[in-house]
């Protein structure tokens, strides 16, 4: 069933790659299939070195959970095992929301909440006033922030690699959401595909068009614009190689 931007509630979502791309639903409502895609071997230099865990931070109404599901489906199409699931506090518009994504080249068996993510996406930087978005984050991982070009959060991310994109501006210019509640999720996953160099932006855009029922073309365009306008911040720190 296509994903609708307004449907931010999701069951635990698991997909595992098969050679013929078939999926089946088990009794728990999970998509489950066995095997791997031969087109993506373990020698692929863009594959994660083992499983990687990603945490999304946003607010109710921003499509945070949908962002995790869309990115999971894009990685799945690219040949990875994936797992995506949400975490809700107070279920109301504007309340903090977290979503989680695991990706890997082998079967993902763990089912616990992600407490030590390799990477984070922050869809609303105002959350950092009350939420410890880097809590448990592994040093050297990517932090992707939705923030205007003139904002500087470098001092808060000295142990990590930092990138930013003005997803709010991109969403508003593409007519996604409202001025007070722009829908930034598709721009954020497009930017994330750029900093990770996977999955390919074409796969991300195709996933958006296939699964978003409200303004699919505009959402895909937002992802592409974010992909093209990500800013990489040079944080001088020993032991971490920065990108320009």
Q: What percent of the chain has pLDDT over 90?
A: 62
Looking at domain 13-233, what is its CATH homologous superfamily? Pyruvate-ferredoxin oxidoreductase, PFOR, domain III (3.40.920.10)
The ranges assigned to domains in the chain are 13-233
d(CA 89, CA 95): 8
148 has a pLDDT exceeding 50: yes
Q: How many whole angstroms from its chain centre is CA 124?
A: 14
Residue pair 93/60 in contact (Cβ under 8 Å)? The answer is: yes
pLDDT on residue 235: 63
- The pLDDT of residue 38: 31
């Amino acid at each position: 069933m296509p994903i609708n931007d307004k449907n931010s509630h999701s069951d635990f979502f698991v997909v595992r790659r098969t050679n013929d791309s078939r999926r089946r639903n088990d009794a728990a409502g999970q998509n489950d299939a066995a095997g791997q895609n031969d087109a993506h071997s373990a020698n692929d230099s863009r594959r994660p070195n083992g499983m990687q865990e990603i945490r999304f931070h946003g607010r109710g109404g921003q499509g945070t959970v949908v962002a995790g599901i869309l990115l999971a489906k894009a990685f799945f199409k690219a040949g990875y095992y994936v797992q995506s699931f949400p975490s809700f506090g107070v279920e109301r518009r504007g309340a903090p929301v977290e979503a989680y994504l695991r990706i890997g080249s082998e079967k993902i068996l763990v089912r616990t909440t992600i407490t030590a993510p390799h990477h984070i996406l922050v869809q609303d930087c105002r959350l950092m006033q009350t939420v410890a978005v880097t809590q448990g984050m592994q040093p050297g991982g990517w932090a992707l922030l939705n923030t205007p070009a003139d904002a500087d959060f470098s001092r808060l991310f000295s142990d990590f690699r930092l990138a930013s994109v003005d997803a709010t501006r991109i969403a508003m210019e593409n007519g996604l959401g409202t001025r007070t509640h722009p829908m930034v999720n598709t721009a954020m996953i497009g930017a994330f595909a750029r900093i990770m160099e996977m999955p390919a932006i074409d796969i991300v855009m195709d996933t958006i068009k296939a699964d978003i029922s409200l303004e699919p073309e505009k959402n895909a365009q937002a992802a592409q614009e974010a992909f093209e306008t990500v800013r990489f911040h040079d944080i001088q720190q020993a032991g971490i190689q920065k990108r320009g």
